[in-house]
Chain A
Amino acid sequence: MDKITGKITSPEALQIDIDGFSKDFDDRIKGLNGKRAVMVCGGTGCLANNGDDILKEFEKQIKEKGLSDKIAVNHVGCFGLCSQGPFIKIFPEDVLYSKIKIADVAHIVDDDLIGGKICEDLLYVDPVTHEKVIHQEDINFYKKQMRISLRGCSLINPDFLEESLGYDGFKAFKKALTTMKPQQVIDEVLASGIRGRGGAGFPTGKKWQFAANQVADQKYIVCNGDEGDPGAFMDCSILEGNPFEVIEGMMIAGYAFGANQGYFYVRAEYPTAVARLKRAIADMRVVGLIGDHILGTDFSFDVHLREGAGAFVCGEETALLNSIEGKRGMPRPRPPFPAIKGLWGKPTCVNNVETLAQIPYIIRVGAAEYAKVGTPGSKGTKVFALGGKVNNVGLVEVPMGTTLRTLIFDIGGGIPNGKKFKAIQTGGPSGGCLTDEDLDTPIDYDTLIARGSMMGSGGAIVMDEDNCMVDVAHFYMDFICSESCGKCTPCRIGTKRLLEMLTSITEGRGTEQTLVDMKSLASIIKNGSLCALGQTAANPILSTLTKFPKEYQAHVIDKKCPSHVCKKLISYWIDPALCKKCSKCARDCPVQCISGIPGKTAYVIDSTKCIKCGTCLAVCPFHAISKI
């Protein structure tokens, strides 16, 4: 295996000194090994923005300029502030450069790496104060965050086991294996108060206890990385940035309740995460960290990887188990719960990626220390994928109990283009929206449910005044309807009918009775569906109906879409007072429905022919066209 430190050569070398790698790592960050370190972000967002080519360009230039023995280049996991990526960080000075393009590489190499001068023009600029910021921790986005799950991301090179070991990797596993009995591990996790990060928030320790109580010849631990919520990418980033941490959590779980086989189920849409996880598993196998008699003990463990083939419902644990078994990913009736009868009929715990990523930290620092963070009912930190209409799009990890205001305005930097905040959708297609009045609520599992939404996996999509909430509900229902597996009738047919009702509302055919019918059907689907997908399917409709009743009424009574989104309910209009009679709109109109005489008469749109494509609005140089 390729090495940074070259220390691990055999299982024996690893057994002697699992803790010895941290000095090498520290030396590297502090430059005590005589080298400066260039870290290039290798998360999905930055890779899509030429992150890989930037890394190669650095390697090429450093080689060409004869700096290879003075400078090491590595890629690392996600920095979190994805909208400012790709990032470059230089150690030991701890300088962060943002929005790097390939052309900037020569500038950094010549002026900073060779010249020793900070490239001022590539520093992050605070959008409010316009000050340049040198260090990552001084950026407002990071100030109120606390990283546990994302701890190693943006610091370690996820391709190397030594990097993980250098940054506390497998210390918790070793501690559990050599100093704790399995029941002690479960007790510690119970005492920490951690609840499942996948959405439902079931206490992780309890789940493990159920599985531990079963007597069976074979038990399984499964890691759910089928992150189905469109707009959430925290599991993806954790697996990309520090796959070892998740494997360690899985192995601690296996030790705790007696499983010696672990399965990862990760979306095939995350090729980088899959590749890094594969490599991590293979490397651990080489050195005996996966296999028989790990670290010279009686504990043996093997890890397998399965790629999800694109079905949202497979995020539901029993559907996921069917998928691993090579079947259609349809949920099973519960009970029996997987902890009793799971994968191939054996006791199985299914834990989310983020949950497992928190386990090593809990064992390392102890339950009492972990439980100091968070609210009485929800302990620790939670990662949110903050997206949509917010300035700082990215991954955010905050203590439970942080308010939405802090999340959206302090960390997220507020709404772009001076627009007004309208709502934030949490919990994805199973969740609901929260508004102005919820901004100061501390976020945890229970408060979100009390406010009509849910934690879900941590997707947090911000919407501004330009978003129509009926359209958003329609979007989610369209998603659920196409992802319903079809096994049970309330979900299969009910969601289809709900979608038809919503479509009729957005097209101006809905009435007040439609709203009543939707509510009644929603409760039937909720009570009658087999799994959580159906049981929560109507949540986006119910929550928008509750929080934005006027918007629905405008659609069904006035036949207007106040946000000018629903095409059938808007029309385009040219203000004759502003029209300069230039004819640009008429020339660009794809259906020739705009008429007028250049330089003589103001132009007019024939709304019976207009297809509402918005071309005229976009091309008018004088802003004379508006949606009404």
Chain B
Amino acid sequence: MAIKPETKKEIAAICEQYQDEPSPLLLILEDVQKKFGYIPLEVQEFISSETGVPVSEIYGVVTFYNFFSLDPKGKYVINVCLGTACYVKNNQSVIEKFESLLNIQPGQTTQDGLFTIEAIRCMGACALAPAVAVNGKVFPQMTVDKVSGIIDEYKKLEANA
């Protein structure tokens, strides 16, 4: 897959923005991840050519941190919190319900590109435990019964879009 010229331009601009920093790799990758949602190998190669950092090192960093993704994520990212406070309040059964209804595992995306399930470790909303967040919107005090309603809500949103 070739990178579009305008995308290249944007990435080059990000690289240039941090050129005075002593070690800018993580800053560049974080911006690219936030902007494009994932960092495939082609993009890593391009960042390498822009910064001079070997692509092996970039790949090492991208695969080390949970924040970076090699693959595109779904339109709606369902973050199920499995931090301790949510776990002891049974969020494991909530994520299992999402898995069975969407027929994907955590980290995977549905074939229509709509949903990704992610198991995350604490978003600091422990008082709302067990919590689920879809694209940042938090659903507090989750139960297994509420799962299908949430999926329907976003499917409806998509149908009306």
Contact = CB atoms under 8 A, between A and B. Distances in A.
Interface of A: 44-45, 48-49, 82-83, 85, 228-233, 236-237, 268-270, 306-307, 309-312, 323-329, 344, 385, 387-389, 393-394, 425, 428, 459, 461, 463, 467, 472, 475-476, 479, 485, 614, 618
Given A323-B26, A387-B127, A393-B127, A231 B85 contact: yes
Contacts, number: 127
A236 B66 contact: no
B53 to A, nearest CB: 8
Given A270-B124, A344-B22, A461-B88, 20 more contacts: A48-B140, A49-B138, A83-B127, A230-B83, A230-B122, A231-B122, A309-B26, A311-B64, A311-B66, A312-B121, A324-B26, A327-B61, A328-B64, A387-B127, A388-B85, A393-B85, A393-B129, A461-B85, A475-B87, A614-B93
B17 interface: no
B119 to A, nearest CB: 10
A45 B125 contact: yes
Interface residues of B, number: 41
A329 B65 contact: yes
B126 A82 contact: yes
Contact of B84 (A270, A307, A388, A394): A388
A83 B128 CA distance: 7
B114 interface: no
B145 interface: yes
A567 to B, nearest CB: 10
Interface in B25-74: 25-27, 29-30, 57, 60-61, 64-68
5 contacts: A45-B126, A230-B82, A306-B26, A309-B26, A309-B29
Contacts of B123: 44, 269
A467 B84 CA distance: 12
B72 to A, nearest CB: 18
Interface string B8-31: 000000000000001111110110
Contact of A461 (B84, B133, B138, B140): B84
A391 to B, nearest CB: 11
Given A309-B67, A310-B67, A459-B84, A479 B121 contact: yes
Contacts of A428: 84
A461 B61 CA distance: 32
Contacts of B131: 48
B75 interface: no
A231 B64 contact: no
A232 B22 contact: no
Interface in B81-98: 82-89, 93
A232 B60 CA distance: 29
Contacts of B30: 268, 307, 309
A546 to B, nearest CB: 20
Contact of A49 (B120, B122, B126, B128): B128
A425 B84 contact: yes
3 closest Cβ pairs, A-B complex: A82-B127, A230-B83, A310-B66
